[in-house]
Amino acid sequence: MRTDKKRRNDPPKVLMEVCLIWLLLLFASGASHASESESRTILDETFSWLTPDEADRMLTKVKRAGFNVIIPVVWHGRGTSWPSRLAPSEPLWDKKGNKSYHDPLRYLIEKAHTMGMEVHPWFTVSLRQRDFLHEFYDSGTPAKAFNIHLPDFRSYIVSLMLEVVKNYDVDGINMDYIRSMGICESPFCIEDYRNRMHRDLMTDAKEKEGTLAWTSIAKWNADAVEDILERFSREAKALKSHLVISVSSHAGLPLLVNQGTDSIRWANLNWIDVIFHMEYATTDQFRWQLLNKALDDLKDPKKLVLMVGNYEQSSLNKDLVWARNAQTVADLVTLSQEYGQGGNGIALYEYPYLSDRQIEKLRLGPFRESTRASWRKHGETR
């Protein structure tokens, strides 16, 4: 079912009651299916697993909650959380010590597999959170970003992700921040835009959405972003055909389209298997129109996973964050299941706010039966 606030308010009361009964029957029939196979994914953006003790604690907790897929960020634009030949290490790993003999990513993957869980390492592709790798950005590059228009950066980030695919028994790779993060106005970008689009970048950058200039910049950014994505997808699948390639995005959001992100197009071209569509608000603030349009535009709507949130954030202070009400989280996960039936399951962001009370509600509700991870790829049916 595709639901937005307008559609929910239109039907008469009797019809709404009939629909409610139908939904209850749908969930009941889906429960047995979920008990056999349903990917239940949780993300961790905080490197909560860099020591063996931390990894054990995290895996035990998410397993107890009923999750069977973990997406841990392994590259957040600061360094690697695995011994790499291509980049310095993540500063948080440096602080933990034991670098000389411990490989956090290998330990996490191996331990997760013994517990029946998948691991899909998460890369923030263009995000830069450290003053390093200076050859991959220049004056005029969007703040806190690498310059996706530099061919050397595109080759570098593809090689970095492939390093993990080649050397680790990963089940998937997740990409985030796979976009320009703004309009690059460096001398290189100005010249590159002129050569590729035959237009003036600084003039076009002043134009609004929907204009020819806006479309031209979107195409220029997309060409660079898609070079990364298509190349990685092709080479990674050649190495491991079973690999699940996903992106975290706001599917179809015009701002991201202008920055070169078109996850719907990528899914339709089979470059990616899953779109984790981010909706971290409560349902009264969901962007229903965006969600429903994405489902309409996808050749295979089951490639979209509604990724919901388990935290609340202060409107006055973004640093003030706390665990969301447990029943609300269970209800959001149930809604995510509704969209994921027969597809790629559910996703929850994020691990640090997974409370014992949330775990209890998940186990009594949407996760009351155990399941194994299962992925629908390239138009497969079940």
The DSSP secondary-structure symbol of 127 reads B
- Asked whether residue 90 is assigned to any structural domain, the reply reads yes
Query: Can you spell out the DSSP letters for 137-177?
Result: --TTSPTTB--TT-HHHHHHHHHHHHHHHHHS--SEEEEES
Nearest-angstrom CA–CA distance, 112 and 171: 11
The per-residue pLDDT for 98 is 59
- Asked whether residue 28 is assigned to any structural domain, the reply reads no
The per-residue pLDDT for 36 is 77
- Asked whether residue 219 is assigned to any structural domain, the reply reads yes
**Residues 354, 360, 361: CA angle, nearest 5 degrees:** 90
Rounded average pLDDT over 39-52: 97
Rg (CA), the chain: 21
**pLDDT per residue over 242-265, tens digit each?**
999 999 999 999 999 999 999 999
The per-residue pLDDT for 343 is 87
Q: Domain residues for 104?
A: 38-364
- Asked whether residue 13 is assigned to any structural domain, the reply reads no
Nearest-angstrom CA–CA distance, 286 and 291: 9
The per-residue pLDDT for 381 is 46
Give the count of domains, the chain.
1
Greater confidence (16 vs 229) lies with 229
**pLDDT per residue over 122-135, tens digit each?**
999 999 999 999 99
Confidence of residue 58 (pLDDT cuts 50, 70, 90): very high
Greater confidence (17 vs 229) lies with 229
CATH code, domain with 240: 3.20.20.80
Q: Is the pLDDT of residue 271 over 60?
A: yes
The per-residue pLDDT for 2 is 38
- Asked whether residue 319 is assigned to any structural domain, the reply reads yes
- Asked whether residue 31 is assigned to any structural domain, the reply reads no
The per-residue pLDDT for 99 is 63
Task: Tell me whether strands 122-124 and 118-119 are parallel, antiparallel or unpaired.
Answer: unpaired
Nearest-angstrom CA–CA distance, 210 and 197: 17
Please name the residue that has the structure tokens 């191996």: 110
**pLDDT per residue over 123-166, tens digit each?**
999 999 999 999 999 999 999 999 999 999 999 999 999 999 99
CA dihedral (183, 188, 272, 92) in degrees, to 10, reads -80
- Asked whether residue 23 is assigned to any structural domain, the reply reads no
Confidence of residue 196 (pLDDT cuts 50, 70, 90): very high
The per-residue pLDDT for 342 is 79
Share the mean pLDDT of the chain.
90
Least confident of 69-78, 100-109, 166-175, 211-220: 100-109
Q: 273 exposed, middle or buried (CB, 10 Å; 0-12, 13-18, 19+)? A: buried
Q: What does each C-alpha distance from 320 to 171, 282, 350, 356 come to in angstroms?
A: 34, 17, 15, 20
- Residue percentage of the chain with pLDDT more than 70: 88
The per-residue pLDDT for 377 is 67
- Residue percentage of the chain with pLDDT more than 90: 84
293 sits in which H/E element: helix 288-297
Least confident of 3-7, 176-180, 276-280: 3-7
- Asked whether residue 5 is assigned to any structural domain, the reply reads no
**pLDDT per residue over 11-43, tens digit each?**
444 444 444 444 444 444 444 344 579 999 999
**pLDDT per residue over 275-326, tens digit each?**
999 999 999 999 999 999 999 999 999 999 999 999 999 989 989 999 999 9
**pLDDT per residue over 333-373, tens digit each?**
999 999 887 789 999 999 999 999 999 999 999 999 999 99
